[in-house]
Structure 1
Amino acid sequence: MTANAIQRQIWGNEAEKEAAHYLGWRAMTDPIADCMADRGMDYYRRFEPVWGGYQPDGLGDTWTAPHHLKQSDRGLAQAEVLPAAVDEPEAPDWVMTDRYRSAAMDCEGEMGDPSRWDSPPGVAELDDEYDSLLADVEDGLGDVEEYDKCMADEGIRFGEEDADCRADKYAEGLAILAPRLTEFEQEHAADLAATQDEWAKILKQAIALGFDPAHPAVVTR
């Protein structure tokens, strides 16, 4: 199994992560909607997907990080695949009335806690184990000051210079990591299977509440 495949098993795929985000959104806004319903009003709310185009990054932060990107910044890699924010459609006129605004302001005090949907049980612990494996491989490749000096000599441009400055260490790191990944997969087979099951349950639960992985953006009222 590849590093990215392990990362996906731990932290879910695009649809599963979006489903967890949806359930967190429902946990926050359902109590508000109930409060508004008690006042005889609909609650206008829009779910905005955030995980479209997600690709896992199961490698390290320095020597084995993707080439052409600044080390220790996985966010740059994700920024290349995540879509730009879309404009929210115009809200209906009744949302702008004083009556609606006053009720919404009061009811938003009932907002729920979405934190239970941050990740399934066991994910954080398994991720810590995996991060420890990556850190051990990275530490074994030597002090990153060697890389920093090379980049400084080249003018700190993250293009071909990045690949040139750590090509050997990058290849060495991947060679060391490969058997360690197999060991990790075998040692944590039950844990990986359990997290996959938990992510699948999250997706199923979200779909039951109206989440559509193919068209995740939704307005409810």
Structure 2
Amino acid sequence: MPTAVQALCANFPDLTPPATLALRLEALMPSRRLPAGRVLFAQGQSPSAFYLVEDGEIEARFAALDGRMSVLEHVRAPRLFGLAAFISGKPSRYEAAAVSDSRVRVIGAPAYRVLMDDWPGFARALMREFAERFEGNLRLLEAARHLSAAERFGVALRQLADERAGPSDAEGWQALRATQAELAQLAHLSRQTVNQLLRAAQAEGRLRLRYGGLDIRR
């Protein structure tokens, strides 16, 4: 299992932590295991920490007025989440639940103060990370309201690719672990529509379907 500093460096590879922080952060950022399906914090709850995914996958989702769940994003290692509710002290607008057996680092107020005050460059890197995340969510919101089904599908596919796509092979293909259900939820489309769009994109040579995911070219 990586140390707290190693987990953070995986998220911010351009940052070099002061050597004195390792033991302090290890004590201040405990690791927590979550079995599949476990809710880490609920919609309407005011979290006392934010989190870093070490292993597995966390789904951020919220309940609409009709009771249906809408997915905001899937958070995989080594990404951070939950900062807005933690910083503002206001109830979270969404709930976070483990999609698979997962492990997170818990970053409460003492760890947050150390990171912001004693790690040069961390505050700027954290702001950039969440600004990019916010921009991605705005793109999805715009797509859900104004764009065609094909355009919404394209936005959702690009967001998942930004989060998960592996390195390019010799022919320029990148492996992407994503299901039709995930694409449908992100794009606010039916699975049948997503299936049709995937088949059309494959026929055009823009992606390749395979078991458990697909290959894309960008």
The normalised TM-score by structure 2 is 0.27
Q: Which has the higher contact order (CA 8 A, sep 6+)?
A: 1
Work out which of the two has the higher radius of gyration on C-alpha atoms and give 1 or 2: 1
Q: Which has the higher helix share?
A: 1
